Structure 1
């Protein structure tokens, strides 16, 4: 089974970290969840984003998620694939050059990458998305396009695979993107 790196940060979307972290482990994969400047056993706060008929999502306090690996000790070459959940975390994680270097490694070595919702902000800051069809939360469409990607306008419960990149608009797409990502990991 694959060894996966999951990069998170404070105010990561609750479902977008909790569900993949558990589901990928249930599939038999090893998942190391890390956050810059935090250690194994530290926690990140999560936020719950919901779609309640407003012009954008609502945000509520989520749970605390306990990291199971230490960011400073990660050797990206040891990992087979990358998972980047959304929420508000990607907005500030893209300012950390160490995180950008990690993301670049997976693209440079043609390893599978899964990015959900606002994770496209981090991808767009780290790499060119030229040649990739990329889904994300609709507000991230400009980021995807500015990074050269073809923004995929799909339903919120769908996902798209482009090469080794699996993307989805938000947590309602968990069944779709997890299935597509699992196919890349096999």
Structure 2
């Protein structure tokens, strides 16, 4: 469909498996064209994912996940083409935030008040881009000090919860996906039409 609205999806090597796979597929399901990108990689390349779980240790454990295929080339991204930005969590954000292009793209969405959704460690990209000052948001708890150092207002919420501040949607981890994705769709203005199998949803 020529007028399908596009979402930019930032991910990278050792991103959290669920936090890439689930939002990517759900946004496609409701009718968006999702351009999953990683700096210095191109359409058709893959990133390795990692599964983070909580098994009684002081922090999460990490296991190999699936390989995820990118759907667009980062160097060809024009931020003006997109109605929203999603930033996956996991270990990828700690190195993606060192890439100037990632910071520039993130600032475009913030400065133009476009919807931004970030989960878990994905918030590290927001803090590095310096777009959280005065904003209410959440993240994986270990990222809380970074949020506050960057001038944000960190809200400690359960992993199943979401925090929405205007165009900004954040959640601590993948257990929050149901509320996180619903809130992002609300901010995008997507209209879900239940009970209509032939036209499940509309992103327009």
**TM score, norm. by length of structure 1:** 0.98
Other-structure match for 2:94 = 91
Bigger Cα Rg? 2
| Superposed displacement of residue 54, structure 1 | 1.1
Gaps of at least 5 residues in structure 2 are 190-204
| Superposed displacement of residue 47, structure 1 | 0.4
- For residue 37 of structure 1, the aligned residue among 29, 37, 40 is 40
Q: Does 1:178 align with 2:177?
A: no
Matches within 5 A, 1:10-89: 10-89=13-92
Provide the alpha-carbon RMSD of the alignment. 0.8
**TM score, norm. by length of structure 2:** 0.90
For residues 117 and 49 of structure 1, the distance between their equivalents in structure 2, rounded to whole angstroms, comes to 11
Number of residue pairs matched? 186
Q: Does 1:125 align with 2:128?
A: yes
Other-structure match for 1:104 = 107
Other-structure match for 1:135 = 138
Other-structure match for 1:158 = 161
Gaps of at least 5 residues in structure 1 are none
| Superposed displacement of residue 73, structure 1 | 0.7
| Superposed displacement of residue 65, structure 1 | 0.1
* Counterpart secondary structure, 2:102: helix
- Asked if the contact 2:110/2:131 (under 8 Å) is kept, the reply is no
